[in-house]
Structure 1
């Protein structure tokens, strides 16, 4: 046990507001992974509202801290830091508490509210404070204990990344704004109190009580002292004792009582024991091997014979000395001659006889080729056997011991190398998992503060880390799946993707061969071939109209004046919604059309104009409707500047002209020129097919990715994206009044709500 903790609660029910102390009591498994959370709270609100706030904080701790996946993974993943997890929890509690107060309409008196939230894990402490609660550290200084206020002595750590540096409209959280962290010194105490408690008990009395009594007894003693005061002020506190150094003094006294001889023996024993403990797994202790080998040699070593006594004869010694000198001179001269002659011979070979070099190399290659001949290995084996048989019994044993030692040594090195590689891979994997966990926790905080720019950058970094995360083993696959699911959820939040798993089916048009859809005057209109169908969503009945002289009604446009226009075989079909009649209008005979016509109709109340975009000419042509001739003529160039329109796939007009490129980019044109209008880059990328301009929003549709993107028409920022993976839509329509979108897929009509 690293610490002991106890609470102080006195007169909590006699105050105007609500006062309480909470210490979490998780099971031993969760406590070993996450420690104990605690709260000291004086809440400036009505008692029942204060109780609701306290209950909300406690439930949030259980939900966001003890039930967090990162906490549950701490026993499997090294490197997950409690500090990072606690900071993320504080950020979530900040957001959730603000939302709770707004939702429940609770008025909180800020001057009368003092809340401390913290966690003690082993001998490390992390806490955040709001209000005037005190955080006191009692520590040993020399022979005495001293007390300090931790908050006044803590230094500020600046974040390297400011998640909101680019957002001018960011609002700081109103509750917890910083986290203080550190280790409790050995045999020291940490005391959290409300503002009143230190004012009614002196520092020295507090030191004497807390340092001389166990925490639970010290808490009762402090309550007894404060209970004698004739006051109805609430007193709150928590005492935390670091128990790591409790037995240290006893051990020191025992060690001092040992004699000098005993101390040396103890040190030697400790050195050997430590050496064995720190020895890598699989590595052989060569000290033990050498010691055993030495003992073995001593046993088999023959006893040395006594040397004969030598009689000193000066004459013999003189003669022997002379001979030695002469031999030394001769040996030295012979060595010099051999060296000189070898160098000269080498120079002659390479300079005078180059033709013999090839022969030498050929002889070497012939010798090398003989190495791989089977006879060589057979002869070598037989020679080794003969040599082994000729050895004495003692030498054979020594030889076998040597071979065994070599095998053990080689195996030891191999095992050590394998263990080292495994440990390195384990550490790398743990660091990688820790890095992903920290970045995902960082993304959560960025999402809370709507910092999309940094969140997208961090998301890309996580994607790169996930690509390198091993997933060969079952536990690795489980961890990868968890990270990947969290990654996808965070990506959806950042990219504002709403996934609609089961859209509602409202109409069945099977067999009608319809290919397009449009919403007009509170009804749906589907068309295909030469037929137009008027449909009420959810109603089985429908009306239809057959249009003569056309074969393919496509690309419907509603002018908001009671008419729907269709493109059909190079003609314009004008469908009157009031009388359910259709007129076919010819274009001017000189009109040249591209393979896929991009057009729209605009009715300003006086005249009706046809706009056709010509990509190959980078121009938008406008045609006026000739009432007498009943056709569109008077062609004119609408654009008055050069603009690249080669990537445009659709246009929509509401007085201004909006063009949609195949990459989802939208441009705005007004008064014959392109305006400075920039929409949000949509992620993931989309190859858009169709654009509808509504009253307040732009609707972009991508049939391939089955996605509908909604952008604010005012500044082009992304509102939401709706993903319908279960469908294969070919067209869509929007009811802006009821915030509903309709999809045509496999001759069935589905609807989704745009209110998410």
Structure 2
């Protein structure tokens, strides 16, 4: 939408690299807005941005540090050239008149940098038709800051985008005519091309005096598969823009949610209402008490008179009615027995019979009436002070009972309000946690998640809130799985079903050599050799009983070490079907591992790992490997990659190099590791694998950072026994439920 005016020069662009480069390096997009700048600088600036795009796709393509480092280096070169262009300009330039945004999108990740004032909106879908609007530059820190001409692009904001996310970049003019909510509805309900056409139609009537430009990016469905659509706007008259500033952060480390704090402080307090109620109640009691004391005598006499009249009326009416009914019944009965007997008029001698019958028919009503009359008589006999105290007591009892009713109502309403507030706080924390997680602020997201979990426990356990609790718990579980990077495998591939070999199999351990996997069965003392290429399983019966073998380790394709519960170590040869003792030490061995042809044995009760060299009879007596006295008495298993990783029963991981403890910082896992069965890595792998049997999962840590890379779990992983990792082929083999499963990974 070009107005034809020359005060502003604008552009919106999307790079179009070759498919192989797009897959390897991603796609660069950007928007530029310059106004009131000399032509020489405008041409130079556009040349610099164009060269930035070109340089990014130049070889070499394997850049150390990854694409973020490559992108950062291109921005640094652009900064130097922009600074030089500003200094070389004969006319003094206004940096505040420069607005530019450059973004790199690659495999579900986005990297953003800007000069001046731009808008980057992310529409994140929580569930169908329910979106969070994240103003990226605003929530990454101050939207603008003072510009440093030496570092125009001074900050890179990065984050992950998923199939739940839509991205929209635009200048301020767009937001002056279309709100963020309206943009969200348009962008999320239509394809980018259709959405931009609709936005263009809305803004068209205002394009004579304003300049509009935007880029819309649809959700990422699969890696390397997204579509960018844009509106290109050229020279136009721009409204005055505030002095731009550059964000001070280097990444979006925290998205701040102010709504929950605002609502917290704006929420009305019940305390003033209670104070008012208390004041009114005390004032009312004083007024009533003064009135009663002033007119006590008159009130007392009137109450007595009214009570007597009322009770006499009720009593006589009731008694007379009952007597008439009985007399009528008797007359009718007599008449029926003796028809010739003259009819007696019930009204005759009424006064005499009434008095007589009344005495004969004294009942509970009469007793109550007599009791009340006696109490009234007692009250009348009281002196003035006693009467005052009595009546005041009755009034206080009345007000106390009413206050209990009022309090019950207020408590009920307060509970409803409190529960609604708790639900709102949980939703706000979950929204904040999801937004922080989008931009890799794991610490902030976990903090928000924990607050939501704590608040959820405060919602009452009744049917009224059960559906809401279930929905919130589901969102908590989803966010936790996302933060913990849990991958659920519905139907992992089965490599071998050892149940077919022995229905009562007691499988203890698994090892690998080349294309062969070995598994030991304590039930029948068989060792199974699985050919991974041919998918065949061969069973070999051992020549003797080795008493509960708990760990095996492959020496080569035909020899396997066997460690039993008596700490006896044997070398078994599958070709000759012979087993020989390999270690004469009497130490209690907790675990073993082979590395570089040498045997390492964990002697946990002595807090030592022994390194054994091979000899003709098996292995020598060994030497102590730990040099600094590190306490490993609680260690349950270990693995080697040149150094040694150990883990205890609570999941605490240590790393020792050259026999000395090194600093580590492995992330906490939720739920915590419980009784790990095995730990694995090797020199070819950048990852550490932990078999957490009790939680039916395999946890993958990055060795360098200690962060969680992935967690694999499946309903099929019951009774997990052992894992094998082939780092080169990126495969994990899992022994569980008498089967061997295969997981293909990107680790």
Q: Does 1:490 align with 2:479?
A: yes
Structure 1 match to 2:633: 646
Q: Deviations over 1:446-495 (max 9, x none)?
A: 2112122222333333222222x222443322222222221222222222
Correspondence 1:592 to 2:592: no
Q: What is the aligned partner in structure 2 of residue 632 from structure 1?
A: 619
Asked if 1:547 corresponds to 2:542, the answer is: yes
Partner Cα separation in structure 1 for residue 437 and residue 654 of structure 2: 29
Q: Equivalent of 1:617, from 598, 606, 621?
A: 606
Asked if the contact 2:122/2:134 (under 8 Å) is kept, the reply is: no
- CA distance in 1: counterparts of 2:163 and 2:714, whole angstroms: 36
Aligned match of 1:434 in 424, 427, 440? Answer: 424
Structure 2 residue 680 is the aligned partner of structure 1 residue 692: yes
The 1:442–1:528 alpha-carbon spacing in structure 2 relative to 1, beyond 3 Å, is same
Report the CA distance shift for 1:655/1:570 in structure 2 as closer, same or farther (over 3 A).
Answer: same
CA distances 1:506-527 after superposition (whole Å, capped 9, x unpaired) = 4322224433223432343221
2:130 paired with 1:68: yes
CA change 1:693–1:98 in 2 (3 A) is: closer
Which residues of 2 match residues 346-745 of structure 1 at below 5 A? 383-387=374-378, 409-467=399-457, 469-510=458-499, 511=502, 512-529=505-522, 530-536=525-531, 541-551=536-546, 552-558=548-554, 564-568=560-564, 570-574=567-571, 580-581=575-576, 584-589=579-584, 591-594=585-588, 596-603=589-596, 608-627=597-616, 630-686=617-673, 687-694=675-682, 695-696=684-685, 697-726=687-716, 727-745=718-736
Aligned to 2:348: none
Q: CA deviation at 1:662?
A: 2.1
Query: Compared with structure 1, are the counterparts of its residues 102 and 133 closer, same or farther at alpha carbon in structure 2 (3 Å cutoff)?
Result: farther
Secondary structure of 1:655's aligned partner = coil
- Asked if the contact 2:158–2:439 (Cα under 8 Å) also holds between the matched residues in 1, the reply is no
* Larger RCO of the pair (alpha carbons < 8 Å, separation 6+): 1
User: In the TM superposition, what is the alpha-carbon distance from 1:497 to its structure 2 partner?
Assistant: 2.4
Pairwise CA distance, 1:701? 0.8
8 Å CA contact 1:661–1:688 kept in 2: the answer is: yes
1:248 alignment partner in structure 2: none
- Could you tell me which residue of structure 2 aligns to residue 747 of structure 1? 738
Give me the whole-angstrom Cα distance separating, in 2, the residues matched to 1:444 and 1:413.
46
Residue of structure 2 aligned with 1:170, choices 251, 256, 263? 251
1:556 positional shift:
1.9
Change (3 A) 1:645 1:729: same
Tell me, yes or no, if the aligned pair for 1:91 and 1:445 is still in contact at 8 Å.
no
Change (3 A) 1:504 1:102: closer
TM-score norm. by structure 1 comes to 0.50
Shift of 1:625: 1.9
Q: Is the 8 A contact 1:88 1:442 kept in 2?
A: no
Match of 1:30?
A: none
Kindly indicate whether the alpha-carbon contact (under 8 Å) linking 2:570 and 2:583 is maintained by their aligned counterparts in 1. Answer: no
* Separation in structure 1 between the aligned mates of residue 515 and residue 688 of structure 2, nearest angstrom: 19
Is this contact kept in 2: 1:729–1:745, CA < 8 A?
Answer: yes
Task: Check conservation: 1:521, 1:562, Cα contact below 8 A.
Answer: no
3-state SS, counterpart of residue 704 of structure 1: helix
Distance 1:414 1:616 in 2: 67
Query: TM-score, with normalisation over the residues of structure 2?
Result: 0.50
Name the SS for the 2:455 alignment partner. helix
Preserved CA contact (<8 Å) 1:610 1:623: yes
Q: 1:385 to 1:536 in 2, by over 3 A?
A: farther
1:151–1:482 CA distance, 2 compared to 1 (3 A): farther
Compare 648-657 and 502-511 and name the one that shifted more: 502-511
Do the aligned partners of residues 489 and 382 (structure 1) sit closer, same or farther apart at CA in structure 2, a change above 3 Å counting?
same
Residue-by-residue CA offset, 1:366-401 (whole Å, 9 max, x unaligned)? xxxxxxxxxxx999977414347999xxxxxx9999
Q: 1:358: which partner in 2?
A: none
CA distance in 1, matches of 2:461, 2:540: 62
Q: Offset at 1:444?
A: 1.3
* Residues 1:755 and 1:379: Cα distance change in structure 2 (over 3 Å): farther
Provide the rounded CA distance (Å) in 2 between the counterparts of 1:67 and 1:89. 24
Which deviates the most, 672-681 or 557-566?
Answer: 557-566
**How far off is 1:746 after superposition?**
3.3
Q: Secondary structure at the match of 1:515?
A: strand
Shift of 1:660: 2.2
Please provide the CA RMSD for this pair: 5.9
Q: Distance in 1 between matches of 2:423 and 2:136?
A: 17
Within 2, Cα distance between the matches of 1:177 and 1:454? 9
Do the aligned partners of 1:586 and 1:632 also contact (CA within 8 Å) in 2? no
Aligned residues: 473
1:118 aligns with 2:184: no
Q: Structure 1: which 5+ runs fail to align?
A: 1-8, 19-41, 46-56, 70-83, 122-128, 136-148, 157-161, 181-277, 302-376, 392-397
Equivalent residue of 1:683, what SS? coil
Task: Say if 1:284 and 1:409, in contact at 8 Å, map to a contact too.
Answer: no
User: 1:143-154 residue pairs with structure 2 within 5 A?
Assistant: none
Structure 2: how far apart are the matches of 1:463 and 1:61? Answer: 25
Q: CA deviation at 1:541?
A: 4.1
SS at match of 2:459: coil
Per the alignment, residue 44 of structure 2 pairs with: none
Decide whether aligned partners of structure 1 residues 580 and 103 sit closer, same or farther in structure 2, where only a CA change above 3 A counts. farther
Alpha carbons of 1:283 and 1:541: their partners in 2 closer, same or farther (altered >3 Å)? farther
Q: How far apart, in 2, do the equivalents of 1:496 and 1:433 lie? A: 26
Distance in 2 separating the partners of 1:490 and 1:177:
18
Structure 1: distance between partners of 2:735 and 2:159: 43
Maintained 8 Å contact 2:494/2:742? yes
Distance 1:521 1:724, change over 3 A: same
Aligned-partner SS, 2:620 = strand
Query: In 2, distance between residues paired with 1:60 and 1:678?
Result: 33
Q: How far apart, CA to CA, are the structure 2 residues paired with 1:431 and 1:532?
A: 62
User: 2:137, 2:127 → 1: CA distance?
Assistant: 6
Query: In the alignment, is the contact (CA less than 8 A) between 2:582 and 2:618 conserved in 1?
Result: yes
What is the CA distance between 1:652 and its match in structure 2? 1.9
Q: Deviations over 1:566-594 (max 9, x none)?
A: 22464444456xx74555342454x1221
Q: Distance in 1 between matches of 2:137 and 2:394?
A: 59
